[in-house]
Amino acid sequence: QVQLVESGGGLVQPGGSLRLSCAASGISFSFYAMGWYRQAPGKQRELVARIAADGNTNYADSVKGRFTISRDNAKKMVVLQMNSLKPEDTAVYYCKGRLMSNDYWGQGAQVTVST
């Protein structure tokens, strides 16, 4: 049974930091491309950051220089470090794993950036 479980969301003030973690089970994690997506109320889900099996990364323009994605294959975990958070970063953040045509999603973690 495949599971992706996010943790680390919460409420933070503008300019603050949060660290999201996604723990995977039931997959050969090291072969999977992993990504973080987000969905704000009334908006479509969008890619935030992605890390390939070989470690290559790419980011949405809106988070470049502020967010960092990393993976630990031994722990089957992918992490999104979010710094200099802005109110427009408020959304539900989802972890996704992809291998060929197989996509798996986590349940989502709420991130709220507000005073």
pLDDT at 4: 97
Q: Could you tell me the two tokens for 99? A: 């291998």
pLDDT at 60: 98
Q: Could you tell me the two tokens for 95? A: 């972890």
pLDDT at 54: 96
Measured CA to CA, the distance from residue 19 to residue 69 in angstroms comes to: 10
- 70-94 per-position pLDDT tens digit: 999 999 999 999 999 999 999 999 9
Average pLDDT, the chain: 97
pLDDT at 111: 98
Please compute the mean of the pLDDT values over residues 12-37 and round it to a whole number. Answer: 97
